[in-house]
Structure 1
């Protein structure tokens, strides 16, 4: 699990934090967070389990959709660290087959990330299946998010329960009021409390349907917002709500926060929210957001097109028979990226390269701008290797990549120009992707690594987009420099103001 966290985030500090917490040790992170776990094991509902879940969320959510046939409708919904899979099909046989495929895919792919599929903790909600299906309990209704969910058409959220939870969280804030009636919290702390109450109130808002448009729901949420503001400001609950609005420093109301969360969820899932937008926001839906162009190269790859195993399936330029579902390819192309920092560490020599024993492919190396990340170098190497494969040759080529995170990004739904180009080449030329261990005894990977290092200094220049990490670093560096200049100028003026002046000329000289 720690290795997967490090591959996804690129941060060894977070991986060390997770490792220390999992092994029951006291750990420190940036001298601010201190967590102590008395018993060993994976944290359940603790500090790090939501963090770990968010990291694996994008990877895990795509597994059910890729495991079933095309005539089966599958939609995956997430609430906090719970995952719900909705399955729609024509017959009970297809339903049982879809459940088998999904459970098998989860049990097969989750161990790659250090996770596991627990059938005893899962529940199937169905009216057609028996009491148990493939070791998973089948129920006709389940309690969830303060409501009872069944398949009788009454799957409605318990809005009253959500508002009650919000009122409970708001009342907890009364403990922050001092004995003299003075609220001892900073403006930033008040904003954090508002965000916490909004998150508690909106837990499971994806099930609300169109209820955020109802005037009654809006009035109830606004009433809760005014009550919370009175508590945070120190006004009696019986006070005038207009006074709380006048004195409040809230940037957004609770209702506005819920609308933002609900609207973003609708956009992410491809819903047409123009009608909802006009009623809730009170304006016309932005024209620039109406068109959303998709093509088949933006939705990732099928499971049969890539394989992530133990990294030893490829040796001596050949695929070990029976180790994967791939047929023995005509040639294997090894790719690799290189990044060697220099100077203060903010810049680096970045290169990409590939190698193949096939004479039509041979090897090539490329040089990238110094702001590129190692993942971009790996993606450029894969893209150039895929482009070098001749079209309509009747041969089967396999790309051997030593970065699992890059393969997962290509197979997933993350969008970038490089990833879309790679998917296009892979699908059009029927290429396969397989993970190999880097810096191992596989000579093909060693030659690809040498080609990438050569390209970092002498390769053909390839321009790519600036990664977000470099943009954040540039902005932070810029603000640091501006702060230093302001501090230096302030010191000069402070010293100049206290110097004695013997004449008016010296005064103006200073």
Structure 2
């Protein structure tokens, strides 16, 4: 593409950010970053008001362009017929379009449609297709097709790609580049032969060499499964470790393994990169990983499926209005974006202090007119806060919803702060459990006014009060507020003891001796 970083329209970028993230505020922030950026020129700061391009060297520029380029990658798939397979691979402004079909006529037709669609739609984004730099990789077409040169192999990201089925040039080129990057580290060795690299710097170098190997790994196919490839990459890893530790290259590789502080080998980093790419494309990588690496899939990669339970909810999954949208057990039509649910579950928490006020009877409960849900009460430890009681009620209500029942349930909550905490990114065991249940069972959250004329909330409040004394006990982690209170109380008690001991010592030190003389006169 021509002028990808200089001509991309800001309006198109902001629209792509809003379309992908669903946040108008984020789109406005990106627009202000792109449109009114500062430029340093001859010791002066000027505000450059442009309509296209991304700030060169800007921190956000690669991310913004990547979101924007996602819309460009959808053009080839929309331009061809349904029986033609199209896959796009991109790196910055370079893009590969893989086309698969069952005849040469369909292939030529697909190329014509894709080129026409790109030349027609790219100008709307402020871009254009560079035909003089474009290349067609094919063994079936002639030397030139539609004004574009046809070749049997092409370079891409330092790799040589062809359709002959030979993989050696790809891996050999990647390993060669990795050896070059590893040899550069020899310059960091001091004149006395001492390596002047911190452990953190060594990790950065290992990640850089692994990233160098990972360029174009999408073209490797299943070659990382071959033992020969694994041996070559492990050999490069041992060579790099010898350089980083200061061992001669001819030294014993077991010594490098013994002294190395590497968290992962280059082969493991490469498999993680390849696995994440496979996983993002809907491929079950666990079986592949166990076969290649010979071990259980790492816990760091397994947590990828649980990240969505830790980043909050989408705006369409909760609603905070004026609190009157729910009345008489039904959702007022047209008041929210929710459809009329099959049942509404009301939740509430109760905390009634006693004694000196530091302890309380804490309970949680929920109520629903649905016979399968009914109502339940729970008792919590006396150190729990009211927010924890609300969260326990929501968690238990969500767990009571049957899975795969085909019904739509709505959770009515009388605490705005708890809904905002669930929808936000704050992490605790209760919040993560609630998000998991809400997302897996497709539940909705809505705020209702507490202690109002809504009978469902009144019944939930009664269930919570009943649970504070007679409910089933549920253990909850100690909230930070109680921990701070305990520390403050303990520190006050310690201070009082120290003061009392100091006073006793001061008085006893000036009392006369039993003989009538000062004990310390001499």
TM-score when normalising by structure 2: 0.49
Q: Which moved more, 1:234-243 or 1:382-391?
A: 382-391
Q: Deviation at 1:490?
A: 23
The SS at the match of 2:113 is helix
Q: Deviation at 1:154?
A: 3.5
Q: Pick from 382, 397, 406: which aligns with 1:385?
A: 397
User: Equivalents in 1 of 2:407, 2:181: separation in Å?
Assistant: 63
Q: Deviation at 1:177?
A: 1.9
The alpha-carbon distance between structure 1 residues 419 and 154, as it changes in their structure 2 partners (threshold 3 A), is farther
In structure 2, stretches of 5+ residues that fail to align are 1-12
The SS at the match of 1:160 is helix
| Cα RMSD after superposing both structures | 12.1
The alpha-carbon distance between structure 1 residues 185 and 421, as it changes in their structure 2 partners (threshold 3 A), is closer
Q: Which moved more, 1:37-46 or 1:469-478?
A: 469-478
8 Å contact from structure 1 (residues 21, 27) kept in 2 = no
8 Å contact from structure 1 (residues 20, 27) kept in 2 = no
The alpha-carbon distance between structure 1 residues 67 and 392, as it changes in their structure 2 partners (threshold 3 A), is farther
User: Equivalents in 2 of 1:33, 1:492: separation in Å?
Assistant: 69
Q: Which moved more, 1:214-223 or 1:268-277?
A: 268-277
The alpha-carbon distance between structure 1 residues 393 and 181, as it changes in their structure 2 partners (threshold 3 A), is closer
User: Equivalents in 1 of 2:373, 2:18: separation in Å?
Assistant: 33
For each residue in 1:117-144, what CA deviation from the matched residue of structure 2 results, as whole angstroms up to 9, or x when unmatched?
A: 3222211122343433333222233234
Residue 290 in 1 paired to residue 309 in 2? no
8 Å contact from structure 1 (residues 173, 231) kept in 2 = yes
For each residue in 1:438-463, what CA deviation from the matched residue of structure 2 results, as whole angstroms up to 9, or x when unmatched?
A: 99999999999999999999999999
Q: Deviation at 1:328?
A: 31
The alpha-carbon distance between structure 1 residues 354 and 284, as it changes in their structure 2 partners (threshold 3 A), is closer
For each residue in 1:279-331, what CA deviation from the matched residue of structure 2 results, as whole angstroms up to 9, or x when unmatched?
A: 21324679999999999999999999999999999999999999999999999
The alpha-carbon distance between structure 1 residues 387 and 454, as it changes in their structure 2 partners (threshold 3 A), is same
The SS at the match of 1:74 is strand
For each residue in 1:197-222, what CA deviation from the matched residue of structure 2 results, as whole angstroms up to 9, or x when unmatched?
A: 00111211222222212222212211
Q: Pick from 103, 107, 132: which aligns with 1:91?
A: 103
Q: Deviation at 1:102?
A: 2.0
The alpha-carbon distance between structure 1 residues 275 and 3, as it changes in their structure 2 partners (threshold 3 A), is closer
User: Equivalents in 1 of 2:128, 2:336: separation in Å?
Assistant: 21
Residues matched between the structures, number: 510
Residue 32 in 1 paired to residue 44 in 2? yes
Q: Which moved more, 1:335-344 or 1:10-19?
A: 335-344
User: Equivalents in 2 of 1:286, 1:302: separation in Å?
Assistant: 28
The SS at the match of 1:334 is strand
The alpha-carbon distance between structure 1 residues 199 and 8, as it changes in their structure 2 partners (threshold 3 A), is same
The alpha-carbon distance between structure 1 residues 305 and 124, as it changes in their structure 2 partners (threshold 3 A), is farther
8 Å contact from structure 1 (residues 307, 434) kept in 2 = yes
For each residue in 1:346-374, what CA deviation from the matched residue of structure 2 results, as whole angstroms up to 9, or x when unmatched?
A: 99999999999999999999999999999
For each residue in 1:67-100, what CA deviation from the matched residue of structure 2 results, as whole angstroms up to 9, or x when unmatched?
A: 2211111112235653211112233333233223
User: Equivalents in 2 of 1:379, 1:222: separation in Å?
Assistant: 50
Q: Which moved more, 1:409-418 or 1:3-12?
A: 409-418
8 Å contact from structure 1 (residues 350, 456) kept in 2 = yes
User: Equivalents in 2 of 1:206, 1:309: separation in Å?
Assistant: 48
The alpha-carbon distance between structure 1 residues 419 and 32, as it changes in their structure 2 partners (threshold 3 A), is farther
8 Å contact from structure 1 (residues 8, 405) kept in 2 = no
User: Equivalents in 1 of 2:77, 2:451: separation in Å?
Assistant: 34
User: Equivalents in 2 of 1:203, 1:455: separation in Å?
Assistant: 59
Q: Which moved more, 1:36-45 or 1:75-84?
A: 36-45
Q: Deviation at 1:435?
A: 31
Q: Deviation at 1:7?
A: 8.1
The SS at the match of 2:311 is coil
The alpha-carbon distance between structure 1 residues 35 and 117, as it changes in their structure 2 partners (threshold 3 A), is farther
User: Equivalents in 1 of 2:489, 2:135: separation in Å?
Assistant: 50
User: Equivalents in 2 of 1:22, 1:488: separation in Å?
Assistant: 65
Q: Deviation at 1:185?
A: 2.6
Q: Which moved more, 1:258-267 or 1:297-306?
A: 297-306
Q: Which moved more, 1:233-242 or 1:258-267?
A: 233-242
Q: Which structure's CA Rg is the greater one?
A: 2
For each residue in 1:457-482, what CA deviation from the matched residue of structure 2 results, as whole angstroms up to 9, or x when unmatched?
A: 99999999999999999999999999
Q: Deviation at 1:112?
A: 4.4
Q: Deviation at 1:223?
A: 1.6
Q: Deviation at 1:170?
A: 0.7
Alignment of 1:191-340 (within 5 A): 191-271=203-283, 273=285, 276-283=288-295
**In the alignment, what sits opposite 2:459?**
447
TM-score when normalising by structure 1: 0.50
8 Å contact from structure 2 (residues 178, 213) kept in 1 = yes
The SS at the match of 1:35 is strand
The alpha-carbon distance between structure 1 residues 18 and 105, as it changes in their structure 2 partners (threshold 3 A), is same
The alpha-carbon distance between structure 1 residues 30 and 502, as it changes in their structure 2 partners (threshold 3 A), is farther
User: Equivalents in 2 of 1:111, 1:19: separation in Å?
Assistant: 20
The alpha-carbon distance between structure 1 residues 440 and 287, as it changes in their structure 2 partners (threshold 3 A), is closer
The alpha-carbon distance between structure 1 residues 117 and 228, as it changes in their structure 2 partners (threshold 3 A), is same
Q: Which moved more, 1:475-484 or 1:52-61?
A: 475-484
User: Equivalents in 2 of 1:253, 1:61: separation in Å?
Assistant: 33
The alpha-carbon distance between structure 1 residues 324 and 487, as it changes in their structure 2 partners (threshold 3 A), is same
The alpha-carbon distance between structure 1 residues 386 and 253, as it changes in their structure 2 partners (threshold 3 A), is closer
8 Å contact from structure 2 (residues 86, 99) kept in 1 = yes
Q: Which moved more, 1:100-109 or 1:246-255?
A: 100-109
User: Equivalents in 2 of 1:488, 1:129: separation in Å?
Assistant: 97
User: Equivalents in 1 of 2:500, 2:95: separation in Å?
Assistant: 54
